[in-house]
Amino acid sequence: MQYGYFDDKNREYVITRPDTPLPWINYLGCQAYFGIVSNTAGGYSFYRDARLRRITRYRYNNVPFDLGGRYIYVRDDETGDYWLPSWQPTHSDLEQYTCRHGMGYSTIGSKRRGISASTRYFVPLDENLEIWQFTLSNERQTPAALSVFSAIEFCLWDAQDDSTNFQRNFSIGEVEIEDGVIYHKTEYRERRDHFAWFACSAELAGFDTQRDVFLGPTRGWDRPAAVERGESFDSVAHGWAPIGSHHVRLVLQPGETRQILFVLGYHENPKDEKFDPPESQIVNKKTVKPVIARYLIPANVDEAFQKLRTYWDGLLDICQVTTPDIHTDRMVNVWNAYQCMATFNMSRSASFYESGIGRGLGFRDSNQDLLGFVHMVPERARERILDLAATQLPSGGAYHQYQPLTKKGNNDVGGNFNDDPHWLIVGVGAYLKETGDWSILDEPVQYDNQPGSEQPLYDHLQRSFRYTLDRLGPHSLPLIGRADWNDCLNLNCFSDTPGQSFQTTTNKEGKVAESVFIGGLFVLAAKELAAIARHSGHADEAAGYLAEGAHMEETVRRHGWDGEWFLRAYDDFGNKVGSKECAEGKIFIEPQGFCILAGIGLEDGLARRALESVRKYLATPHGIVLQQPAYSRYYLHLGEISSYPPGYKENAGIFCHNNPWVIIAEAMAGNGDGAHDYYSRINPSAREAISDVHRCEPYVYAQMIAGRDAPTHGEAKNSWLTGTAAWNYYAIVQFILGIRPAYDGLQIAPAIPERWTGFRAVRRFRGVTYQITVRRAGTGNAVKLMVDGQAVDGDVVRAPADGRTEVVVGVTLE
């Protein structure tokens, strides 16, 4: 069953009924001002940091789930009937409803009793504001007298404090209303230099800023008193809950359409110019007024929208493919790339499942997110890498997370996740291969944000590498620390106290438990670092890295192979985890994918056997589960992984993030059919037809799909913010289609299904546009390369020596 369809040409997903199984959301803004918007206009906005600069209030896990957002009420002033184009929160019967989620905008519209209303929400590029472009049409035979009410609820900035500290917060709310613009200025009188504003292009019949006056003290958003009676109260908030609501009255002739603009923005003033007059407590509006004026003019708004579209077309056009599979095309060309922008911006901080208050940006997460993002805006990837590296500790270890507003490591969570440092090598490698910008390695970067501790970025990579060598366990495998990629495999935690954090509690010294996964990651990092060294004037060091990598590879073979698959770990007692010897959790996905991805076992058959075991024990029609058999009870020595009921999350759920590791492994082993088959099982577009089972958005990946041990097998959860986005993009583009930035040029090494006759691609890479045609001539993956009509040895296309910017590449697969 479907709830909408893809409009591929317009790069939109069109939702045709409001009662989707879960809110189906979109992101507004891609630079500093962000919003989350659901298909029923739920959600909120913030500036840079979802916790510390929350602009509008949102109640998570509400009843119904998605209540509160960017509402516009339409009232028939003759009958008193009122409803919203977004359906929520009145749930009125509609004659028609559509939500179009596009690239950085959403348009939600509906029709009731001959009146059509629709709102396009977007954030213009380079501005800290969002526009609600509201259109109202009278499709009746008679004139219609209508009222329109906007409504948002302001957050008192720190979203955590806002939802807990009521004894203070009920007394601090403040607003100003000037020329019809509502200014939200809570705490501006003291240490804040920022405020929010909410403006409307039409002449106002009234306004409200006190929530419980607008709604009435005992009512909800579905029955606001002001809307019901057809007149605002002109309330001025003092304390309690400041809101912004404009009231506009208009009469539409039959066939007439009118547009009203509502604009919500964030603004900062210089500290010493906060007030106007200077000695007053009145917000200085000198610099914000021109911004407000600009965006209340429809032509400027249209232009800003066009610019946004052009911007996204430009980003997506960097890599476009035409394959025999529509689901591959629309994910690669549009939605997967688009999701990679969201994961780059948000890491795992703000979605409908991440509240924006719990986490900053993850060190490992953000580094991995670069894999799917770096080709779109390399300058921002560069900045992110330097920010991440600056939070690294002198030991080479890393803070697990940092706060985007302060860019400082988060002390509450701390470090000792022993995989973390290596992801910096992976992220920097991806950046260098995409851009060829070797200067980044010489950038002086602090350790732990301490002035005076600056060392070249290359030094950070060396310390990342060293970190593991300084922390080897009894089998010479890497010690796991608090956890590795799997945050829930807590082998040193031994927590028996309710509520203790599995991530930050450590009750063992951690000198025994080892991770085979980090072993694989180390082997990959060693190869990457060696390549970086070779290309950047440190050739003498490359051999050393390779030797350490080879040594670790040997150790993994000796102590990390279980006979039919790679082991997962050794626990604090030195016992195996993820072995045939275990009663539960015999085989895990992570080491199978990652050891092979690092190249282990490709030559000697181990990889083949491990992949056969994955197929036999872990693969389901809905994707590959994390481990089997699921843990049926809590194991003190394993930690959070065994805290989940079987089939969910890390306990044998289909944790989509690591499915692409197996996809890449299959591609590296030359099995294009297997790789694309796994790819399709979790491809959201390919699952659109079972939306009633999948339940999450069919246009983006979710973190998890319930595994076969769960009663809801196939049901997705935690959409949008997941490493799945970057890894699947990387897997399909770079390993199945095989278009892979390399240090020396653009490598083309596809591993496509046998039945595919070929595909086409356009890839802009280091200033050159490559028109690529791949044609299958035999059943294998051997590449024969023609560059501008000339046969070329190998599979790497080098940059044209004569400065041409268009290159035609023909690939024959034999």
d(C-alpha 552, C-alpha 335), whole Å? 38
Closest by CA position to 308, among listed 45, 102, 62: 102
485 binds, among ligand NOJ, ligand BGC, none (CB under 5 to 8 A by kind): ligand NOJ
Q: Which is nearer to ligand NOJ, 210 or 703 (CB)?
A: 703
Residue type, 605: G
- Give least dist CB 707 to ligand BGC, A: 14
Rounded-to-integer distance, Cα 43 and Cα 40, Å: 9
Selection from ligand BGC, ligand NOJ, none that 503 binds (CB < 5 to 8 A by kind) is ligand BGC
Is 588 or 759 the residue whose CB approaches ligand NOJ more closely?
A: 588
Taking the complex as a whole, the smallest distance from the CB of residue 194 to ligand NOJ amounts, in Å, to 29
Start-to-end CA span in the chain (Å) = 40
String of contacts with ligand BGC for each residue 641-670, x by CB under 6 A? --------xx--------------------
The rounded distance, in Å, linking the Cα atoms of 516 and 571 is 11
Which x/- pattern over 449-488 shows residues binding ligand NOJ (rule: CB under 6 A)? ------------------------------------xxxx
Total residues at interface with ligand BGC (CB under 6 A): 6
Selected binder of ligand BGC within 503, 592, 628, 747 (CB under 6 A): 503
Using the minimum distance from each CB to ligand NOJ, give the nearer residue, 44 or 485. Answer: 485
By beta-carbon proximity to ligand NOJ, the closer residue of 365 and 795 is 365
Closest approach of ligand BGC to the CB of residue 121, in Å: 29
Toward ligand NOJ, which CB reaches closer, 120 or 649? Answer: 649
650 near ligand NOJ, rule: CB under 6 A: yes
708-713 long-range Cβ contacts below 8 angstroms, 24+ apart: 708/620, 708/625, 708/647, 708/652, 709/625, 709/629, 709/630, 709/646, 709/647, 709/652, 710/645, 710/646, 710/647, 710/648, 710/653, 711/647, 712/647, 713/620, 713/622, 713/647
Question: How would you classify residue 372: left for phi > 0, otherwise alpha for psi between -120 and 50, otherwise beta?
Answer: alpha
Query: Which of ligand BGC, ligand NOJ, none has residue 364 at its interface (CB below 5 to 8 Å by kind)?
Result: ligand NOJ
| Min CB(588)–ligand NOJ separation in Å | 12
Say how far apart CA 243 and CA 56 lie, in whole Å: 9
Report the residue number, 571 or 650, with the smaller CB distance to ligand NOJ.
650
What type of residue is 249?
A: R
* Token code pair at residue 503: 């991530």
CB of residue 562 vs ligand BGC: minimum separation in angstroms? 25
Q: Three-class SS of residue 261?
A: strand
Nearest to 129 by CA among 229, 199, 217: 199
Total length of the chain? 814
Residue 362 binding partner per list ligand NOJ, ligand BGC, none, with a CB distance cut-off of 5 to 8 Å that depends on partner kind: ligand NOJ
Binding mask 335-374 for ligand NOJ (x = CB under 6 A): -------------x-------------x-xx---------
Q: Is 709 in the site for ligand BGC (CB under 6 A)?
A: no
Q: Which residue among 72, 488, 493, 569 contacts ligand BGC (CB under 6 A)?
A: 488
Record the tokens describing residue 706, joined without a space: 């319930």
Question: x-or-dash pattern for ligand BGC, window 583-622, by CB under 6 A?
Answer: ----------------------------------------
How far is the C-alpha of 31 from the C-alpha of 345, rounded, in Å? 8
The first and second tokens of residue 22, run together, are: 């879960």
* Residue 567: how many other CB atoms lie within 10 Å: 29
Region for 639 from its dihedrals, namely left if φ exceeds 0, alpha if ψ lies in -120 to 50, beta otherwise: left
- Measured from the Cβ of residue 793, the count of other Cβ atoms closer than 10 Å reads 7
Q: How many residues lie near ligand NOJ (CB under 6 A)? A: 9
Q: What angle do CA 104, 108, 112 make, to 5 degrees?
A: 170
Answer for which of 434, 487, 548, 590 binds ligand BGC (CB under 6 A) is 487
Q: How many H helices and E strands in the chain? A: 20, 43
Residue 352 tokens read as 């409908």
Write out the two tokens for 778: 């035999």
- Residue 308: which of ligand BGC, ligand NOJ, none does it interact with, CB under 5 to 8 A by kind? none
In terms of CB distance, is 521 or 607 closer to ligand BGC?
Answer: 521
How distant, in Å, are the alpha carbons of 195, 237, 312, 590 from that of 243? 13, 8, 33, 48
* For ligand BGC, the closer CB: 487 or 572: 487
365 binds, among ligand BGC, ligand NOJ, none (CB under 5 to 8 A by kind): ligand NOJ
**Beta carbon of residue 455, minimum distance to ligand BGC (angstroms, whole number):** 30
Choosing from 49, 66, 76, 487, the catalytic residue is 487
* Rg, Å, the chain Cα set: 28
**From residue 695, how far is each of 71, 622, 690, 708 by CA, in Å?**
24, 13, 8, 16
Least spacing, CB of residue 590 vs ligand BGC, in Å: 13
Is 81 one of the annotated active-site residues of the chain? no
Identify whether the C-beta of residue 361 lies closer than 8 Å to the C-beta of residue 402.
yes
Q: Which is nearer to ligand NOJ, 57 or 384 (CB)?
A: 384
- Of residues 622 through 641, those in contact with ligand BGC by CB under 6 A are 640
Q: Answer yes or no: are the C-beta atoms of 757 and 776 closer than 8 Å.
A: yes
Question: Nearest residue to ligand BGC, using CB?
Answer: 487
Smallest distance from ligand BGC to CB 488, Å:
5
List Cα–Cα distances, 471 to 389, 390, 492, in angstroms.
Answer: 20, 22, 14
Q: Which residues are catalytic?
A: 487
Binding site for ligand NOJ (CB under 6 A): 348, 362, 364-365, 485-488, 650
Where does this chain bind ligand BGC (CB under 6 A)?
487-488, 503, 640, 649-650
